[in-house]
Each structure stands twice: as C-alpha cells, then as structure tokens.
Amino acid sequence: MNESSKLQQAAVELISKYFGQNTAKVYDKFFVDESDSAIVVSVNSILSDYIGKTKAEEEIKKMTEGLTL
Amino acid sequence: MNIRKIIFLAIFLAVSVVYILSTTDQVFMLSTLHLIFPVGAALIAAYTSRIYGFKSANNGRVQLIIAAGLVSWGIAEVVGYVLDNFLDVANLIPRVDSFFFLIAYPILGMGVYRGYVTAGIKLKLVKKSLLMMVLSASALLTIAVAYFGVYKAYDPTADILTNVVNLGYGLGDLILVVGSLFAIVVAHEYGDGKLASFWKTMAAGFFTFLIGDTLFFTMYGALVMEGVKPYLYVNLIWAAAYMLLAYAVLENYIHILSVQKNIKLQLQQRK
C-alpha cells in the first residue's frame, strides 16, 4: 500500500470514528481523485466543525503520524 | 437562535400553558400531550443511528446506545399512558413501564461512558476548575438523590417487589448523576464543535430529569400521578428534560445529514 492510499484509509477511518460508516463510505469514494493535501484539508474542515478546532488538529496529527506527506 | 430552537420552545410553552389552564378532569389530555417530547426524542435518536449506520463503531456506537436508552424511555411513556388511560391496571406494581424506565438508566449511562472513551479524554489535561466543579456538583447531587431516591424510597411496610422498583429509580438517578457529569467533561473536550453542543444539551436534559425525579420523590408522587396542582407541574419538568434530549439528538441528526448531503453533492458534481 503506498503512502497516498494509506492516508486515504486513515482519513476514512477517522471520518468513520466520528460520523459513522455511512458517511465514511461516501468519503471513501470522494477521496479517490483527491490529492493528499486536499484530503487533509477536507478532513480538517468537517472535523473542526464537529469536534472543535483543537481536537480536530489533535486527531489529524495522529492520523498523519508515520506518513510521509 | 435557530428556527428549530424557537419551534421547540414554542411547543413547550404551549404545553405549559395547557398544563396551567387545565382542570383536574383533563388528565387524559395532559398525559396525551406529555407524549410529544419522549416519543419525539426516541424517534429522532433512532433515525440518527440509522444515518450513522447501525454497525458503526466509536461515536456511531455511542449514538446507537443513547438511542436505545431514549427508545426505552419512549416505550415506557407510551406503555404507561396505555396502562393509565385505557387499562384498569394503573396501580398494579410492578408496572410494565417501570421495566422500560429502569433499563434505560444503565443503557444511557453506558452511552455516556462510551462517549467518554471515544473522546480519548486524558483527565490530567482537563482543567482543574472544571474537575472541581464537576466533583462538587456530583457530591451534592449524589447526596440528594441517595437521600430522597434511595433512603426515603424504601418503605418497610411495602412488599419486596415494590421496594426493588422504587430503589431501582433511585439507583437509576445515581447513574444519571454520574452520566450527566461525564457528559459535561466530554462536551468540554470538543471545545466549540457541534458535538460539544450535543453533549452539553444531553447533560442539561439529564440534570432536568434528575430535578423532576427528585421532586417526584419529595412531593408525594401519587399526587403528581393523580394530576393534583401544583404537584402536577413536575410533569412539565420531565417534559422539559425530554425536550432537551430531543433537541440534542435532532441537532446532531441534522448536522450528520448535512455532512452526508454535502459530500454526496460534491461527488455528483464531479461526475
């Protein structure tokens, strides 16, 4: 699995954690044609709105840990 | 103030006015009106779980467990309504609705606990002032509920089953005390996010429910059940509690739905 698909998988898992599997399934399709930076921006946007900016940053930091972006 | 909040408050105000103007022979109408918020909360919570996906983990699981608790309270209210108004078994103990009322307390407690775990809260990082406030409130509420809901609820002249049910409500309220305080800590973790609003409103709903329950234990519950004023107004406190719980799940439902609609639209536009 390359870094990009690892990031996509981690992003979908994070969305699933807070928004449930139905939302995650749609995002999984949406992220296919998205760049890594666009995925991070997209996840940051919906998470900040839902769990607050600080918690979103914390979760995204965990998500990108170990990945070379 | 958003339009949904205004509608909720308007309905509650209308129900309150009906309660105040009602006469003792209108108990049936009042108990019918009383169903609006618990049934509403149960239905919205069930729909919310559906849009998350019933097999979802983490927050989706939390919503499912909370939905199960609210559905249980909704069923209890409907069953109680049928027993009181259509069947001649109003004073039968134990009542079937008691089972659904009592089982909801641990379910809701579990839901809040799962919410706490999902949030990944590190107690060391929680503000000391918040922890002190939560612990002080917890101690005061525990004393009040333990005294009125457990100690005073025990009736040595009643049979075991009656005492088990009565004590069950007191113990359920103790679960709600802990649950509402955990909900505040979870809300704090999510800062200014929509999920923080959900937990704050849930905590407010649980607190209001506790006030209703404690007043019921201290103000001669039988008079509340018979619709004698002013004891009757305890029902309004429960209605307010259900309203807060219904509002919490509705706002969460609308937010998740809008996230899903938005991303589906973007996906469609791309095609």
Question: How many Å lie between the alpha carbon of A50 and the closest alpha carbon of chain B?
Answer: 5
Is the bond preceding residue B38 a cis peptide, omega within 30 degrees? no
Taking 60 as the threshold, does the pLDDT of residue B269 lie above it?
yes
Q: Sort out which chain A residues have CB atoms less than 8 A from B267's CB and list them.
A: 26, 29-30
Task: Check: CB of residue B178 under 8 Å from CB of residue B191.
Answer: no
Q: Which pLDDT score, from 0 to 100, does residue B110 have?
A: 97
The string of pLDDT tens digits covering residues B106-161 is 999 999 999 999 999 887 777 788 888 888 888 888 888 788 777 877 788 888 88
Taking 60 as the threshold, does the pLDDT of residue B215 lie above it?
yes
| A18 interfacial to chain B (CB closer than 8 Å) | yes
| B60 interfacial to chain A (CB closer than 8 Å) | yes
A5, amino acid identity: S
Q: Sort out which chain A residues have CB atoms less than 8 A from B55's CB and list them.
A: 21
Please work out, in degrees rounded to the nearest 5, the angle formed at the alpha carbon of residue B173 by the alpha carbons of B171 and B178: 100
| Helix B128-145, helix B194-218: angle, nearest 10 | 30
Interface test with A, best of B54, B190, B262, B269 (most A CBs within 10 A): B190
Nearest CA in chain B to A23: B260
ipTM score over 0.90, yes or no: yes
Question: How many Å lie between the alpha carbon of A7 and the closest alpha carbon of chain B?
Answer: 19
Nearest CA in chain A to B61: A20
Q: Which pLDDT score, from 0 to 100, does residue B2 have?
A: 85
The total number of structural domains in chain B stands at 1
Nearest CA in chain A to B256: A19
Q: How far apart are CA B147 and CA A29, in angstroms?
A: 56
In whole angstroms, how far apart are CA B53 and each of A24, B17, B39, B64, B132?
10, 39, 21, 9, 37
Interface test with B, best of A16, A39, A42, A50 (most B CBs within 10 A): A50
pLDDT band (50, 70, 90) for residue A5: confident
Q: Do B190 and A51 touch (CB under 8 A)?
A: yes
DSSP state of B149: I
Q: Which pLDDT score, from 0 to 100, does residue B145 have?
A: 79
Q: Which pLDDT score, from 0 to 100, does residue B137 have?
A: 80
Taking 80 as the threshold, does the pLDDT of residue A16 lie above it?
yes
% of chain B exceeding 90 in pLDDT: 54
The string of pLDDT tens digits covering residues B222-231 is 777 777 777 7
Q: Sort out which chain A residues have CB atoms less than 8 A from B263's CB and list them.
A: 23, 26-27, 30
Q: Which pLDDT score, from 0 to 100, does residue B162 have?
A: 82
Q: Which pLDDT score, from 0 to 100, does residue B170 have?
A: 87
Q: How far apart are CA A22 and CA A35, in angstroms?
A: 22
Q: What is the mean pLDDT of residues B207-216?
A: 88
Q: What is the mean pLDDT of residues B193-216?
A: 93
**Closest C-alpha among B52, B130, B64, B73 to residue B244:** B73
| A54 interfacial to chain B (CB closer than 8 Å) | yes
| B263 interfacial to chain A (CB closer than 8 Å) | yes
Q: Which pLDDT score, from 0 to 100, does residue B219 have?
A: 65
Structure tokens at A8: 């996509």
Mean pLDDT of chain B: 89
The string of pLDDT tens digits covering residues B58-117 is 999 999 999 999 999 999 999 999 988 888 765 666 788 889 999 999 999 999 999 999
Higher-pLDDT residue of B152 and A16 is: A16
Interface test with B, best of A30, A41, A51, A54 (most B CBs within 10 A): A51
| B138 interfacial to chain A (CB closer than 8 Å) | no
Give helix then strand counts, H and E, for chain B.
10, 0
User: Which CATH number goes with the domain that contains B10?
Assistant: 1.20.1070
Q: Do B193 and A51 touch (CB under 8 A)?
A: yes
The string of pLDDT tens digits covering residues A17-65 is 999 999 999 999 999 989 999 999 999 999 999 999 999 999 999 998 8
**Closest C-alpha among B93, B73, B218 to residue B153:** B218
Taking 80 as the threshold, does the pLDDT of residue B205 lie above it?
yes
pLDDT band (50, 70, 90) for residue B54: very high
Q: Which pLDDT score, from 0 to 100, does residue B70 have?
A: 98
DSSP state of B151: I
| Helix B194-218, helix B234-270: angle, nearest 10 | 160
Nearest to A50 among B63, B255, B263 (CB): B255
The string of pLDDT tens digits covering residues B18-37 is 888 888 778 788 889 889 99
Provide the residue range defining the domain that includes B89: 3-270
**Closest C-alpha among B138, B111, B120, B118 to residue B48:** B111
Q: What is the mean pLDDT of residues B170-177?
A: 90
